Amino acid sequence: MNQLLCCQLLIFYIHHITFNKSANQTITRNLKERTTHTARRVMEATMGQSHGRESIISGPSPFDTLPVDCISSIISFTSPRDACNAASVSKTLESAAKSDSLWEKFLPLEYTSLIPQYPRVFSSKKELYFALCDDPLLIEDGKKSFRLEKASGKRCIMISPKEVSITWGSSPEHWQWISIPESRFEKIAELIDVCWFEIRGGMHTRYLSPGTRYSVYIVFKTKNGCPGLGDLPVDAGVGLVGQESPQKLIYFVGPRGRDRRRDVTRPEARDDGWMEAELGQFYNDSCCDDISLSVGKTNTPDWKSGLIIQGFEFRPVKTRLSLKNKHQIRKAMEQIQVGDSKCGGGISRNGAVVSVGAATSRFDTLPEDCISMVIFHTTPRDACVVASVSRTVKSAAESDLVWEKFLPPEYSSLALPPSLDCSSKKKIYLSLADDPVLIDEGKKSFWLEKSTGKKCYMLSAMDLKITWSDSPAYWQWVTVPESKFEKVAELCNVCWFEIRGKISVKMLSKGTHYSVYLVFKRASSRSYGFDHTPIETEVGFAGKEVRKTFVFLEPSDTDPRSGYGYSGVSLAAVSRAFRTRRPWMRFPREEVEGERESGGNVEEPKERGDKWSEVKLGSFYIDDGGCEDGDEVEVAIMETRMGQWKSGLVFQGIEIRPVKEEEVTK
């Protein structure tokens, strides 16, 4: 196996063996022990081969003792390139590495709609994958070209010149639209003669892979040296719409002789016979942004001609590990033993991490940047845990390379505390986890969930829509020292109680289960009108079906008049009360008790550590596919049916934070 596959196996160890705790601990523990022992043996077997070109192992491999689904699971955490490399280990691994279930994970979600464009039938998902890599497809009525980056499976898009704005592009004396057989598109642009050369365009990032850094290239050919343009630096820029785009200079041909500027990007030849020049880079975080691009030369009076533009290509930036000594890495991988007692620590049989007593580890033979790249693929919690292995691993685990990946892309624009020591990205991360910062003119609070780096928000009462909140007789805006915000909303007296809020999906972390909480407290010793009163809640995506439930805003207690406590009231009983317009307290106790097992119980408030209380309103999931423009999550809390007057509560806001891992698996 090659170095990258070994690194990916390390990722599997760190993230899925050391720290993954499933509900069935017995099965997990046995699988951990088998995987660790067998993978160690296969590393020693595969890395101990003779020097020179590695060959397929003849006969059985230590990996053959692993369940096939375990092998597929390990390979699924790597990449298409690694899956191909893993197939050379043994026949069993080859079978797992070629399975349709594995390669379907590398295909785009919409791959079934792309198949009809091919004139042949594919015998496997792997064959389809490589077709999408080698044979670009036209989409969007032929205005865009789509393919996959072969090594990673990331999306690559080329937009045709028809998709951009070309100054004088509609004037035949300046530009002509031609057809040539080597172009992907039916029509491409040829520059005939202009003095004002300017092209502007863009694309929505939903066409691209999330969590990926992209480069943008202009793909072109020149005629007769591209007079008036080929040997001059041309302005270019790429960036997110609404933000300042970094500018650079490019050549279409380049100056002759030694008159060459080092700050100007020179074009490079492509395998398809075209030339390309990089216009810039950007990071696609959540597929919810628009990207703008520009290229032009407008500050010279020279007439320009001889440029043929096929399009503008968006493709992932290639990342490389700085592995200077291949023999050193192979030798180091032979020596690595997960949980080796000689290293002074490892994993106990109950899955707990044992502290490391020795100052060094066999990981120390790996280059530090290699270790950093492995930790880069884990989580903040994992990075802190592995720092205890040795000094070398600790240095790698605390590097800015690792912790900048855990920070949100917009961290540099946040109003961090002036006293914060920003000498390392880890310190900035921990500050954002421990000390929420105000954003959106103080109407929202933002912080990071410490163990995962997921984004958390609180929408202040000022950011919510509260019925009658502008009437001092019903609501008052007060200042309390324990609030994150300048003002909070105190309920004076209303019979129509309704609070609504919303947040843009693009602000949240992808692939995350979120819970929504109402954060409040009593204004005095007791509130009025909320005793035994279920409050209706709604949580969901705007314009789509929302999930409705009920909560109590007074904690479980015993009514001194009736002697009845409502702890553990079933949702079914409350829902039936709302349907029949009968107070749920009037149902016979036997009916209420008998319905407790149906649909769970009504949520009750719980005390927090910051002198406030919270009650869970609902939950939702942000998938990995990003979002459409304008997608929002809406939240509503209301009680408008009973008609009684209510007072005595103070509302700080609505908090949106990731569901804990153990709660997701329940």
- Of the ranges 75-89, 103-117, 319-333, the best mean pLDDT one: 103-117
pLDDT, tens digit, 9 for 90 and up, residues 436-449? 999 999 999 999 99
The two tokens of residue 207 are 């066409």
Q: Which residues pair with 241 in a beta bridge?
A: none
Q: What is the pLDDT of residue 576?
A: 56
> Would you say the pTM of this structure is higher than 0.85?
no
Question: pLDDT (tens digit, 9 = 90+) per residue, 467-484?
Answer: 999 999 999 999 999 999
Closest CA to 284 of 207, 353, 232, 346: 207
Most confident range (mean pLDDT) of 48-57, 227-236, 303-312 is: 303-312
Among candidate residues 294, 265, 132, the one with its CA nearest the CA of residue 201? 294
Contact 47, 330 (CB under 8 A): yes
- Sign of the dihedral through C-alpha 120, 121, 122, 128: positive
- The per-residue DSSP string of 189-227 comes to EEE--BSSEEEEEEEEGGGS-TTEEEEEEEEEEESTT-T
Of 389-398, 425-434, 554-563, which gets the smallest average pLDDT? 554-563
Express each pLDDT in 302-314 by its tens digit. Answer: 899 999 999 999 9
Higher-confidence residue of 583 and 560: namely: 583
* Confidence class for position 289, pLDDT limits 50, 70, 90: confident
Between the ranges 28-32, 520-524, 566-570, where is the mean pLDDT highest?
A: 520-524
Separation between Cα atoms, residue 160 and residue 313, nearest integer Å:
9
Contact 297, 303 (CB under 8 A): no
DSSP, res 603: B
Mean pLDDT of 220-238: 92
Q: Give the CA count within 13 Å in the CB-facing half-sphere of 216.
A: 29
Residue-wise pLDDT for 110-125, tens only, equals: 888 888 888 888 889 9
> Average pLDDT for residues 427-435, to the nearest whole number?
92
Does the pLDDT value for residue 568 go beyond 70? no
> Helix (H, G, I), strand (E, B), or coil: what is residue 661?
helix
Of 38-52, 210-224, 517-531, 618-632, the range with the highest mean pLDDT is 210-224
pLDDT score recorded for residue 461: 96
Query: For a pLDDT cut of 70, what percent of the chain falls above it?
Result: 73
For residue 337, pLDDT beyond 90: no
In angstroms, rounded to a whole number, what is the distance separating the alpha carbons of residues 634 and 512?
A: 17
- Pairing, β 247-250 against β 264-265: parallel
Per-residue model confidence as pLDDT tens digits over 237-287: 999 888 878 889 999 998 766 556 667 889 999 999 999 999 999 988 877
Average pLDDT for the chain? 78
